[in-house]
Chains A and B, each alone.
Chain A
Amino acid sequence: MDPSSLLQYLITGVTVGATYGLTGLGFTIIFNTTGIINFAQGEFVMLGGILSVAASTAGLPLPLAILTAVTVTTLVGACLERSCIRPVSSSSTINLIIITIGASILIRGLVTLIWGKDTFALPHFSSMEPIRFFGAAMLPQSLWVLGITLILLVALKSFFARTMWGRGMLACSFDPRAAALMGIDVSRMAMASFMISAAVGAVGGVILAPLTMTSYDVGILLGLKGFAACILGGLGNPFGAAAGGVILGILESFGAGLLSSAYKDAITFVILLLLLFVRPTGLFGRSASERV
C-alpha cells in the first residue's frame, strides 16, 4: 500500500466524516436543551441543500440563495418546535422523539410533493480544480466543508460555555423545573435550540450539496450517521459529535480502501458497537451518573 493512497483515504475520511460530524452537532444542541434526540435533524440538512438549489435555480445569486435556504430552514425548525413539540411538551421524552420521526417523514413528503424525487447538484463555491499534494487530491469544496465545520464548532462551544443563553439552555436540560424557578424561560430556550440546530443542519446541507448532490432522501442516511457520530463521541458534547463524525468517516474510508468496499458500513457499525461495549458513554462522554 503506497503512502499516497493512504493519504487519499485519510483525506476522504476526514471530508466525509466532517459531514457526519456537522449533522451530529445539530443533535447535540437540541439534546443539550431538551433531552430530545431530534430525528428530523437529517431533514434539516436535506432542506438546506434542496432549498439552496431551488433558490439558485430560481435566479438568486449563490450567496443569497444560501442565506434564504438557511433562514427558511431555521423557521422550519421553529415551526416544528412550536407546532409539534411544545403542545405535548409534558409527555415523556420517548414520545417527543417519536414525534420528531413523524416530523421527518412529513418534511420528506412535502419536499417530494414540491420538488419531486430527482437528485440536484449545487455549483461549487469556488473552483472545481482539485488541489494536489503528495499524490493525493482534494477539492476546494472539501476545504470549505472543513473550515465551516470548524468555525461552527468553535462558535457553538463558546456559546454553550460562555454566553448566558448558552448556559441557560444547558440548565434547561439538566433540570427544567429548577431552570424555570431561576427565571429561565424554558420553552423559549427549547425553541431557540431547535432554531440553532436547524440553522447548523442547513449550513451543513448547503456546503455539502456541491460535493454530494442532494435529493429528498439524503437526510435519512446522514441523520443515521450523524446520530452514530454523536453516540461515538458522547451525546451532548458538540466537540465529541464532530470528533465522532471524523473518526467514523476515517474508519469507513480505510475500511473501503484496505478491506472491502462491500462491507464498508458493516465494518463501521461493528466497530461502533464494540466501542460502546467498552465505553457506553462514548469516547468523550461525561460519566453516566451525571445524567440520572
Chain B
Amino acid sequence: MSRVTTLVLALFLGLGILSAQAAEPIKIGAVLSITGPASFLGEPERNTLELLADEINKSGGVLGRPLEMIIYDDETDVNKCVLAADKLLKKDKVVTVLGPTVSGNTLAIMSKFSTAKIPLISCAAAEKIVNPVNPWVFKTAQSDRHAVARILNHAKKTGFEKLAIITVSDGFGQAGRAVLQELVPAMGLTLVADEVYGPKDTDMTAQLTKIKGLAPDAIICWGTNPGPAVIARNRVQLAMTTPLYMSHGVASKKFIELAGPAAQGLMLPAGHLAVFTQVPDDHAQKAVLAKYAADYEIRFKQPVSSFGGYAHDALLLVAKAIEMGQSAEPASIRDNLEKIQGFVGASGVFSFSPEDHNGLNEEAFVMVVVEDNDWKIID
C-alpha cells in the first residue's frame, strides 16, 4: 500500500470518528405498557414515539444529534416496570425517561428518578404524580381535577345545583370520586348521592333507582368501558331524564358503539384530539392536532387516540428543553422543562413552573355531547 493511500485512508477514518463524535445520539428511554391490560394506551404511545423520533432524526435531530429511543414494554406489570426503569437508568444511561403509561407504575418508579437525577415525564393521569411536586417528575396527561372542574363549571353555568355521582370502584374511579367529593362542595354545589359500582358489574339499575329517588339535577358517572355504557343503557331503561355527565375515561368511539342509542345527549370532557376536526381553525392547538392526526393515520392506518398524544407531548417537550438549554445533560433538561411556557401540545398548552409539573389547566378539555353517534363540541 502506498503512503498516499494510507494517508487518505487514515484521514477518512479520522473524519469518520470525528463526525461520529459530533453526531453522538441523544439517548431517550421510555417504558410503556405496550402489552397487557393497558395495551390500548401503551401501543399508540409507542407508535407515536417512533413516528416523532423518525421525523426529528430526518430533519437533522436535536442540536444536530439524532435521538436514539430505547423503549421497553412493562406489560402493564408494576414489577416489570421497576426492572425496566432500573435498566434504563443504570445500563442504558439515558438522559430522560418517558412514561410509564399507567399511574400505578409511575408512582412505583418515581422516587428512583430523584435519586438518579434524571427527569421522568409520565404519560399517566393521577394527580399524585405531580402533587406534591417531585423536582424530577413531570406529566403530560391532564389531571382528573381538570376534568372535574370542567364538568362542574358546565353544570353550574347550566344551573344544576344538586348533583349525584356514581363511580367505579377501581383506581380510576376512586381517584375521580375523591376529587368530586372535594370539588362539588368547594364550588358551591350539593352532593346528594354518592354511589359506587364494581368494574365488572353488568346492571346498575339498583344504584340509579336510588339516585332517581333523590331527584338530583344531574348525575356524574366516573369510569371506563364498559360500566358507563351499562349505566347509560340503564338510565334509558328507567326512563330517567336527569342529565348525565361522563368522565374523559370514555372519550372514544367505542363508548358510543357500546351504549348505542342510549349515548345520545350524554356530556363529557374530552381532549381536543378526540374532536380535532371540529376545533376552530384559530385555536392554538389546531395545527399541531391536524398534523399529528394525519401523520399517525398515514403511518399506522388507524385513527389517532388521545393516549398517543401524551407521548407526543412528552417527547416534544424534552426536545424543546434540550434546545432551550443547548445541552442534553439531564440537569439542564430538568431546569429548562420547568421554564417552558405556552408550549402547544396535543393534550393542551403547557406552561410549567417549579410548583406546577403538569402545566395544564381545565382549558385542556372541551365539553362534548353525543349527537348522531358522534361527538359535538358544546363548550
Residues of A within 8 A of B (CB): 1-2, 5, 8-9, 11-13, 15-16, 19, 117-119, 121, 128, 130, 132, 137-139, 208, 211-213, 215, 217-218, 220-221, 252-254, 256-257, 260-262, 264-265
Contacts and interface: CB of A to CB of B under 8 A. Distances in A.
Interface string B204-221: 011101101100000000
Q: Please give me the 9 A-B residue pairs with the lowest Cβ-Cβ distance, nearest first.
A: A212-B202, A256-B206, A119-B226, A262-B196, A257-B206, A12-B205, A8-B209, A221-B200, A253-B206
7 contacts: A11-B205, A15-B203, A117-B37, A119-B225, A139-B237, A213-B229, A262-B196
Contacts of A264: 197-198, 206
A261 B196 contact: yes
B210 A121 contact: no
B197 A261 contact: yes
Contacts of A254: 206
B20 interface: no
Nearest to B229: A213
B5 to A, nearest CB: 59
Interface stretch (B65-73, B252-260, B314-322, B327-335): B252-260
A218 B225 CA distance: 13
A257 B209 CA distance: 7
- Of the candidates B39, B213, B261, the one having the most CB atoms from chain A within 10 angstroms of its own CB is B213
What DSSP secondary structure best describes chain B's contact surface? helix
A266 to B, nearest CB: 11
A261 B202 CA distance: 13
Contact of B213 (A5, A208, A211, A261): A5
Given A12-B203, A118-B254, A256-B207, A212 B198 contact: no
B324 interface: no
B51 interface: no
B261 A16 contact: no
- Of the candidates A15, A137, A252, A256, the one having the most CB atoms from chain B within 10 angstroms of its own CB is A256
Contacts of B254: 118-119
A132 B230 CA distance: 19
A213 B203 contact: no
A132 B238 CA distance: 9
Contact of B237 (A118, A137, A208): A137
Interface string B176-216: 00000000000000000001111010110111011011000
